[in-house]
C-alpha cells in the first residue's frame, strides 16, 4: 500500500560571488538552492525584521494595552492548547510584565472541557478572574461566540492570531493578524507567538514615545527563546522573517540564556543546549510541551514556560516528559489501528487522493499525530477523527496535507458547496482542525474527496525526496557535519539538507530492536550509518542508493560522523 518514493535532486541556486561573506561553499550551495540570494537571507538578523507598524490593527491593539497598563487594569492572556499557543501565552505574560503591567493573569482552554479557543464556556469560567481586557494568542479569529460573550460582560478583547479568517471577523476591540485580507505586513508566515512578539515590540515603542517605558528599558530579545520554540513547533514556513526570529532564539538557547522551563525540557529530553538545532525543538522540546495539551491540560506546559525557579522547572519538565511517554504509547496504538483499518479496505488497487480515518476509541488530542504519520507513510492528505469526548456524537478532526494542497482552502471549498456540513474549521496550508457531527462523516468524506480531486494535481501524489545531490569526498567529516547542523535554521519550507549517493554495504546489524546500523564504503573510505526504524526483517542489499543526512556522531565522539538514512533502495551492478 505504501507508494514508492523517488529521489529527485533539487535545482541549484545562484550563489553569486561577493554576497555571501565568509560562508563556506557547501552552505552557499545549500542556501542558494533554497532561494536565498545572499548571506542576508541565508542567515538573517533581527535588524532585517519588517517594522511592527506595517501590521494592520497594531495601533488599536497598542492603544488598548497602553490604556490597560496605565490604569492598572487586569489583563488576561488566553492561550491555546498547542505549543505555539503555550509559548505565545508565556511570551505575552512575560512581555506585558516587563513592560510595566502589574495585573496580568493567563488562562488556557482544556481540550476536552472547552474545545478550541475562546469559547462561551471558557468565558464563563474567566468571570471569576474579573478581567478587564482579554488578549487571545494563537487563536481568536474564529471565536465569534466566545468574543461576543466576553463583550457582553463588558470586557475588552484584543485578538492576536495568524490563522486564516472566515467570511466575517469577530466583534473584538482590536485584531492583529497578518493574514487578514489587505493587511500590508509582508511576512504572512508568522506563527501565533511571532504575532504576539510583534505586538510587544510595538507596545514598547508606544510606551517609549509616551515616556512611560520602564527604566531600564526592557530587552524583549530575552523572549526570543519562546518565539523560536513556538515558531518551529507550529510548522509555519521559515521565511526570512521567521528564520531571523528562530535563529536569534536558538542563539539564546545555545548560550544557556533560555528560560528555566526550556532549559529543563532540553535536559530531560537529553539534548545538549550548546548544539541545539531547530530539529531538536521539533523532535524533542515541542512534543513534551504539546503532550500536556493532548492528554492532560496545557496549563501545566504554560506553568513550565513561566517558571523561573530551576528546581521547580525540572520537576515540571519531568512531569511533561512522563506525559509525553504516555502520548507516544497512545499514538503508536492508534497508528497501528489506523494501518490495520487501511489494510482491510479495498481501494481497487489505487489509494484515493485523501484519506479520512475514524475510530470511536481514539483520543481527540492525538488524532493530529496519527494523521501526520499516515500522511508521511502514504503521501496523501489525511484527516483523522475521534469523539470530542467519550461517547460524544461530535467528532474532532485533525488534517495534515502534502505540498500542492492547501488543506484549509479545501475545507473552505467543502463548506462553500455544502453549507452547514462543517460546523467549525480553521488552520493553515499544511494543517487544519475541524468539528463534525458523527452522522456527517460519510458525506464529508465524499465532499472532501471531490474537492481534493479538483484542487490537487495528481503528480503531487508521487512521493519524492528532494536531495541536495552528493557530498564531495572531502565533506564527510566532522567540520562539515557541524556546519550543516549549525548553518540553518532549517525547517518547514526551508528543509534540512538531504544528500544522496551510492554505497557498498560492508556490514550491518540491528540495534534497539528496530534500527538498522550500517557500515558503508564510498570514495575509498568507511562510513557509519543508521536508519531509525529501518529493520523490516530482511538483510539490506549489498549495494544501496541512500538518501541521508550527515550528522556528528556524538555517541562515538571525537571526529566521528554518521549518515542518518532517510531512504534506501537497491542498486544493481557497478557505477
Question: Domain locations in the chain?
Answer: 49-322, 345-461, 464-570
What was the pLDDT predicted at 1? 52
Residues whose CB falls within 8 Å of the CB of residue 392, separated by 6 or more in sequence, listed in order: none
Q: How many residues does the chain have?
A: 575
Q: CATH says 464-570 is which class? A: mainly beta
Q: What is the pTM of this model?
A: 0.92
Mean pLDDT computed over 89-111: 96
What does the alpha-carbon distance between residue 98 and residue 91 come to, in Å, rounded to a whole number? Answer: 10
pLDDT of residue 205: 98
Give the cell for residue 379: 503521501
Query: What pLDDT was estimated at residue 556?
Result: 80
Could you tell me the sign of the dihedral formed by the alpha carbons of 302, 305, 307, 310, in that order?
positive
Residue-level pLDDT at 3: 64
H-state helical runs in 379-515:
407-417, 441-455, 478-486
Instruction: Give Dmax (Cα) for the chain.
Output: 78
What is the fold, at CATH topology level, of the domain defined by 345-461? Diaminopimelate Epimerase; Chain A, domain 1 (3.10.310)
> What pLDDT band is residue 343 in, cutting at 50, 70 and 90?
confident
Judged against a pLDDT cut of 60, whether residue 157 lies above it is answered with yes
Measured distance CA(89)–CA(86) in Å, rounded: 5
Place of cell 485578538: 159
Query: What's the confidence (pLDDT) of residue 2?
Result: 60
Cβ atoms of 107 and 128 within 8 Å: the answer is: no
| Arithmetic mean of pLDDT, 390-402 | 93
Tell me if residue 340 falls in helix, strand or coil. helix
Confirm whether 345-461 and 464-570 share one CATH topology: no
Question: Tell me, what DSSP letter sits at residue 2?
Answer: P
pLDDT band for position 67 (cuts 50, 70, 90): very high
Residue 45 CA to residue 535 CA, distance in Å, equals 42
Count the neighbouring beta carbons within 10 Å of the beta carbon of residue 171: 12
264: which 3 cell numbers?
A: 529543563
Summarize pLDDT for 256-282 with one digit per residue, the tens: 999 999 999 999 999 999 999 999 999
The residues that bridge with 562 in the sheet, in sequence order, are 528, 551
The C-alpha atoms of residue 56 and residue 53 are separated, in whole angstroms, by 8
Contact 410, 455 (CB under 8 A): yes
User: In CATH terms, is domain 49-322 a member of 3.40.30.10?
Assistant: no
Read off the pLDDT band of 167 (50, 70, 90): confident
Of 86, 162, 113, 89, the residue nearest 365 (C-alpha): 113
Q: In degrees to the nearest 10, what's the CA dihedral of 336, 515, 481, 489?
A: 10
Amino acid at each position: 500500500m505504501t507508494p514508492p518514493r523517488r529521489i529527485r535532486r533539487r535545482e541549484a541556486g545562484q550563489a553569486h560571488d561577493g554576497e555571501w561573506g565568509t560562508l563556506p561553499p557547501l552552505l552557499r550551495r545549500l542556501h542558494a538552492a533554497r532561494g536565498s540570494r545572499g548571506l542576508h537571507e541565508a542567515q538573517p538578523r533581527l535588524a532585517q525584521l519588517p517594522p511592527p507598524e506595517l501590521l494592520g490593527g497594531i495601533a488599536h491593539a497598542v492603544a488598548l494595552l497602553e490604556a490597560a497598563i496605565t490604569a492598572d487594569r487586569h489583563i488576561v492572556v488566553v492561550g491555546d492548547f498547542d505549543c505555539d499557543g503555550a509559548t505565545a501565552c508565556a511570551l505575552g505574560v512575560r512581555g506585558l510584565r516587563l513592560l510595566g503591567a502589574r495585573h496580568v493573569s493567563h488562562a488556557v482552554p482544556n481540550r476536552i472541557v472547552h474545545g478550541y479557543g475562546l469559547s462561551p464556556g471558557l468565558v464563563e469560567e474567566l468571570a471569576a478572574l474579573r478581567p478587564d481586557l482579554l488578549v487571545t494568542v494563537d487563536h481568536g479569529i474564529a471565536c465569534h461566540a466566545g468574543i461576543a460573550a466576553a463583550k457582553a460582560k463588558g470586557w475588552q478583547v484584543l485578538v492576536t492570531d495568524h490563522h486564516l479568517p472566515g467570511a466575517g471577523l469577530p466583534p473584538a476591540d482590536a485584531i492583529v493578524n497578518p493574514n487578514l485580507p489587505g493587511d500590508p505586513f509582508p511576512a504572512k508566515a508568522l506563527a501565533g507567538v511571532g504575532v504576539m512578539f510583534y505586538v510587544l515590540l510595538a507596545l514598547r515603542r508606544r510606551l517609549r514615545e509616551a515616556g512611560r517605558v520602564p527604566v531600564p528599558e526592557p530587552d524583549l530579545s530575552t523572549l526570543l527563546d519562546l518565539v523560536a520554540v513556538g515558531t518551529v513547533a507550529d510548522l509555519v514556513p521559515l521565511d526570512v522573517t521567521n528564520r531571523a526570529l528562530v535563529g536569534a532564539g536558538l542563539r539564546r538557547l545555545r548560550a544557556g540564556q533560555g528560560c528555566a522551563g526550556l532549559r529543563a525540557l532540553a535536559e530531560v529530553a537529553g539534548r545538549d543546549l550548546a548544539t541545539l538545532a531547530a530539529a531538536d525543538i521539533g523532535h524533542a522540546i515541542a512534543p513534551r510541551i504539546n503532550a500536556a495539551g493532548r492528554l492532560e491540560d496545557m496549563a501545566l506546559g504554560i506553568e513550565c514556560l513561566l517558571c523561573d525557579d530551576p528546581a521547580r522547572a525540572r520537576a515540571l519538565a519531568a512531569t511533561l516528559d512522563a506525559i509525553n511517554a504516555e502520548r507516544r504509547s497512545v499514538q503508536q496504538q492508534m497508528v497501528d489501528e489506523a494501518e490495520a483499518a487501511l489494510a482491510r479496505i479495498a481501494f481497487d488497487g489505487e489509494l484515493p487522493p485523501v484519506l479520512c480515518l475514524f475510530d470511536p476509541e481514539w483520543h481527540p488530542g492525538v488524532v493530529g499525530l496519527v494523521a501526520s504519520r499516515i500522511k508521511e507513510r502514504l503521501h496523501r492528505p489525511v484527516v483523522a477523527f475521534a469523539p470530542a469526548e467519550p461517547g460524544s456524537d461530535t467528532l474532532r478532526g485533525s488534517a495534515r496535507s502534502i505540498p500542492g494542497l492547501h488543506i484549509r482552502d479545501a475545507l473552505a471549498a467543502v463548506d462553500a458547496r455544502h453549507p452547514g456540513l462543517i460546523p467549525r474549521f480553521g488552520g493553515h496550508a499544511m494543517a487544519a482542525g475541524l468539528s463534525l457531527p458523527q452522522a456527517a462523516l460519510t458525506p464529508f468524506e465524499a465532499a472532501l474527496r471531490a474537492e481534493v480531486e479538483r484542487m490537487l494535481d495528481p503528480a503531487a501524489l508521487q512521493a519524492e525526496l528532494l536531495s541536495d545531490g552528493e557530498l564531495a569526498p572531502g565533506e564527510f567529516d566532522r567540520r562539515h557535519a557541524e556546519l550543516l547542523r549549525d548553518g540553518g535554521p532549517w525547517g518547514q519550507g526551508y528543509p534540512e539538507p538531504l544528500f544522496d549517493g551510492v554505497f557498498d554495504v560492508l556490514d550491518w546489524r540491528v540495534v534497539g530492536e528496530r534500527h538498522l546500523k550500517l557500515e558503508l564504503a564510498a570514495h575509498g573510505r568507511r562510513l557509519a550509518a543508521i536508519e531509525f526504524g529501518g529493520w523490516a526483517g530482511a538483510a539490506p542489499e549489498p549495494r544501496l542508493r541512500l538518501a541521508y543526512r550527515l550528522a556528528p556522531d556524538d555517541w562515538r565522539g571525537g571526529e566521528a560522523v554518521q549518515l542518518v538514512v532517510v531512504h534506501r533502495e537497491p542498486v544493481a551492478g557497478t557505477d
